Chain A
Amino acid sequence: MEYKVFCPCYEPTETRLQKQETNEQPLLETIDPPLQKRTQDYSHIPKTLSHKVTSHDVKTLQFCSECQSIRCENCTSKELIAKFCPRCFHFQAPSALVCNRNCFSCPRCNNFLSIDVSTEKDDISARIKGKTFNFHCGNCKWLFTTGLVEKPAPLATIVKRLSVDDDDRQFKKLKDHYLSRYDAMNLLDTETRILYKQELISRFSSLEIASMSKSGKLPNFEVNYESDDDEIEDVQDKKIIHKANIPSHKLFPVCQSLRCREITKCAVCNTVLTSMPEDASATTIRKSVHSPAVEVLPEINVTRFRNYEKKTDPNRIGVPNWALSIMNPLQEDIDVTLSYPDDIRLFCQDKIIKKGASYSVHLPCTSFKLGARPASCSKLEEVVKMVPTVILTNYTKQSRIELMGRSPIGLANVTWTPEKVDNEFYEAMSSRPLDSGVNWATLLLVTDVDVEQKQLDFPLFLSVKGENHSFGVWYLLQIPIN
């Protein structure tokens, strides 16, 4: 079963002013509590709850312990700390875009290119004339040669120089033109004149500067279209070629682009959420993620009962009973309270519920305690304890041993029998979990959904209170039914 977690950062914040104008009700009642407060209690259903962009995979979320709230991409900020090449793993200047250590890929297949160098000497004087660099792809057999390079330069620069074509030249002309205009405009503005002085001197003659500052007019920078006509046509021709397959002799080795190493901060309180140790090498992966949401938010899993099979189901359409398991990832005991809207039709993603068709859920037990996750869980014997009985298999020795040690009453409660559809069973289970263990509990979930519906979209609000944590969070469960 899949579920998404709702982040309230897109929730509109209503201002006091608007409320006063449009509503005559007493002020106290109409003003929403601040966002922080609102997200911790089940006071109202968020306006953006059913919106696609606000629900996230829990793995992509962080938890800010300062704000006691989850943080998604939208409500975190990133800071660049270093750049490195993903191939040779060397760190490079933050301004660099490509690797400067001879890492090139094949433009046709993306394989790494091997490079060999041959030095050319003058036949008579035996003086070194220059070097030729040959690129070779071992996969598609593509070859590229730089020709004789006389002046030593970084290989990336040499390749870049060779690959300059008419498009680039045309673009450079246009760029130069606009840069000149920009500078001239700055010149007219007396305040910035001093700042740009150095650059202006290199770009204009002293006579031009003098006349510009006197007349207060921009110099004439018109592009000479006449002389460029041939080139423009050239560019148009090239564009057509670009659409077709570019012949391999017009391709160039691709420089390896760099990767960034960043730290993530909470956009509300600026707390660092993920960082990297200062001395970490480029292959180091262990980010210090201070608290990923997976280590804070309880995990939810909705399943059928043990041994449930459609064939044994007298109705053959799926029984309305489900087992909802909640697992606590925190190393502290927590109190959990569940809430959900009365009408969940709004959240049905298919949006094709027929009139009069049923679409509702019922959780008999909504308030319970969960134990702390054991501090040590590196051994399998410890991990297996954290698997709820309802989903524990007998496929491994470890799980079979564990299953034998589980509470017989709990096991009976989560094992499917035809009697489990009776009202008596609901009533007996009205206030307590079906089964519980070290850091988990399994609850009864009753659904009343029309046969034709394939999936049940169910928004569930979890309020968690522990020694160090107190937060509320909306889950959007997607239960495959029928």
Chain B
Amino acid sequence: MSDPNWVETASGNRIHRTSRISGKKHIIIGGQTTIESHCKLSASTENQCSLSIGKCCYFNTGVELNAVSKHPKGIKIGPYCFIDKNTKVEDGVTIGNRVRIGAGCRIGKGAILHDCCVVEDGVHLFNGFVVAPFSIVRNKGKNVDDDDDDDDDDNDDNDGDTFDVLEVEELDPSVKICNEEFVKHKLLLG
């Protein structure tokens, strides 16, 4: 009955065979966590534990957790987190409990996401950014740096650097419940 594409560990973690995990000895996964296909988990071999993941997390296809840059903190992810497709998490990131991160995000070095946060699709979270509990982070699009003192409409592309603009809002505490339900259903009901 069991699917040959999946590896199931003693603590109930399910890892797809196409996912690549390096530095296995330095990774702790809490149990009942699902890692979908083509994920990349890399841990630095210098730390005792540079990548720790709580129980009942769900990582969708193509998620990358990169803890190899010798950041003293490594990556910590709390229980009941959900990370959607092709999201990259950089070193030194701390993610609390029940955090939901959308598809195609990048969580910058040393960022801290407190419990019950939601990060919408396509957000590039700044390095070292702190997100308070029960917050939602949105991408407000890109802006062009036109730091010219004379406000002429020169369309010199080489002058302007584009940068991301974010928006942080407070979230209703009820999301905690919805998040838990979501992960539970993903696990049991497919």
Interface residues of A (CB under 8 A from B): 59-60, 86-87, 89, 108-112, 138-142, 245, 247-249, 259, 274, 282-283, 285, 287, 289, 292, 294, 380, 383-384, 387, 391-400
Task: Report how far A249 CA is from B184 CA in the complex, Å.
Answer: 50
Given A141-B145, A247-B146, A249-B147, 4 extra CB contacts under 8 A: A59-B174, A245-B146, A395-B188, A400-B1
Query: A60-B172, A110-B165, A247-B151 in contact; A391/B189 too (CB < 8 A)?
Result: yes
User: Which of A60, A87, A140, A142 contacts B174 (CB under 8 A)?
Assistant: A60
Interface residues of B (CB under 8 A from A): 1-3, 8, 12, 14, 32, 114-116, 126-130, 132-135, 140, 143, 145-149, 151, 161, 163-168, 170, 172-178, 184, 187-190
Task: Report how far A138 CA is from B8 CA in the complex, Å.
Answer: 42
Residues of A within 8 A of B127 (CB): 138
Residues of B within 8 A of A108 (CB): 143, 163, 165
Task: Report how far A248 CA is from B149 CA in the complex, Å.
Answer: 9
User: Which of B167, B178, B190 contacts A395 (CB under 8 A)?
Assistant: B190
Query: A108-B143, A397-B8 in contact; A392/B130 too (CB < 8 A)?
Result: no
Residues of B within 8 A of A110 (CB): 140, 165-168
Residues of A within 8 A of B188 (CB): 380, 383-384, 387, 392-393, 395-396, 398-399
Contact A383 B177 (CB under 8 A): no
* 29 A-B contact pairs sorted by A residue (CB < 8 Å): A59-B175, A60-B174, A86-B135, A109-B126, A110-B140, A112-B129, A138-B128, A139-B126, A140-B145, A140-B161, A140-B163, A141-B161, A248-B145, A248-B147, A259-B170, A282-B132, A283-B133, A285-B114, A285-B134, A287-B173, A292-B177, A294-B177, A380-B12, A387-B188, A387-B189, A391-B189, A396-B12, A396-B14, A397-B8
Residues of A within 8 A of B115 (CB): 283, 285
Tell which of A89, A141, A289, A380 has the most Cβ of chain B within 10 Å: A380
User: Which of B1, B14, B164, B187 contacts A109 (CB under 8 A)?
Assistant: B164
User: Which of B3, B32, B163, B177 contacts A59 (CB under 8 A)?
Assistant: B177
Taking the closest CB of chain A, its distance from the CB of B179, in whole angstroms, is 10
User: Which of A138, A249, A283, A294 contacts B126 (CB under 8 A)?
Assistant: A138
Task: Report how far A139 CA is from B106 CA in the complex, Å.
Answer: 14
Taking the closest CB of chain A, its distance from the CB of B97, in whole angstroms, is 8
Residues of B within 8 A of A387 (CB): 188-189
Contact B173 A285 (CB under 8 A): yes
Q: Which residue of chain B has its CB nearest to the CB of A114?
A: B128
Contact B132 A397 (CB under 8 A): no
Taking the closest CB of chain B, its distance from the CB of A447, in whole angstroms, is 23
Contact A383 B173 (CB under 8 A): no
Query: A139-B126, A393-B190, A400-B1 in contact; A109/B166 too (CB < 8 A)?
Result: yes
Contact A393 B32 (CB under 8 A): no
Residues of B within 8 A of A247 (CB): 146, 148-149, 151
Taking the closest CB of chain B, its distance from the CB of A289, in whole angstroms, is 8
Q: Which residue of chain A has its CB nearest to the CB of B32?
A: A380
Taking the closest CB of chain A, its distance from the CB of B112, in whole angstroms, is 10
Task: Report how far A391 CA is from B190 CA in the complex, Å.
Answer: 10
Residues of B within 8 A of A287 (CB): 173
Contact A398 B12 (CB under 8 A): yes
Task: Report how far A102 CA is from B109 CA in the complex, Å.
Answer: 22
* Nearest 4 CB-CB pairings of A with B: A86-B132, A140-B163, A59-B174, A393-B190
Residues of B within 8 A of A399 (CB): 188-189
Query: A60-B174, A247-B151, A259-B170 in contact; A285/B133 too (CB < 8 A)?
Result: yes
Contact A139 B163 (CB under 8 A): yes
Query: A112-B126, A138-B126 in contact; A397/B133 too (CB < 8 A)?
Result: no
Residues of A within 8 A of B172 (CB): 60
Q: Which residue of chain B has its CB nearest to the CB of A62?
A: B174
Residues of B within 8 A of A380 (CB): 12, 32, 187-188
Residues of B within 8 A of A392 (CB): 188-189
Residues of A within 8 A of B164 (CB): 109, 139
Task: Report how far A287 CA is from B176 CA in the complex, Å.
Answer: 11
Task: Report how far A261 CA is from B54 CA in the complex, Å.
Answer: 28
Query: A249-B149, A383-B188, A397-B8 in contact; A109/B143 too (CB < 8 A)?
Result: yes
Q: Which residue of chain B has its CB nearest to the CB of A73?
A: B172
Q: Which residue of chain B has its CB nearest to the CB of A287?
A: B173
Residues of B within 8 A of A393 (CB): 188-190
Taking the closest CB of chain A, its distance from the CB of B154, in whole angstroms, is 13
User: Which of B114, B128, B132 contacts A112 (CB under 8 A)?
Assistant: B128
Q: Which residue of chain A has its CB nearest to the CB of B163?
A: A140
Task: Report how far A27 CA is from B119 CA in the complex, Å.
Answer: 58
Contact A383 B126 (CB under 8 A): no
Residues of A within 8 A of B189 (CB): 387, 391-393, 395, 399
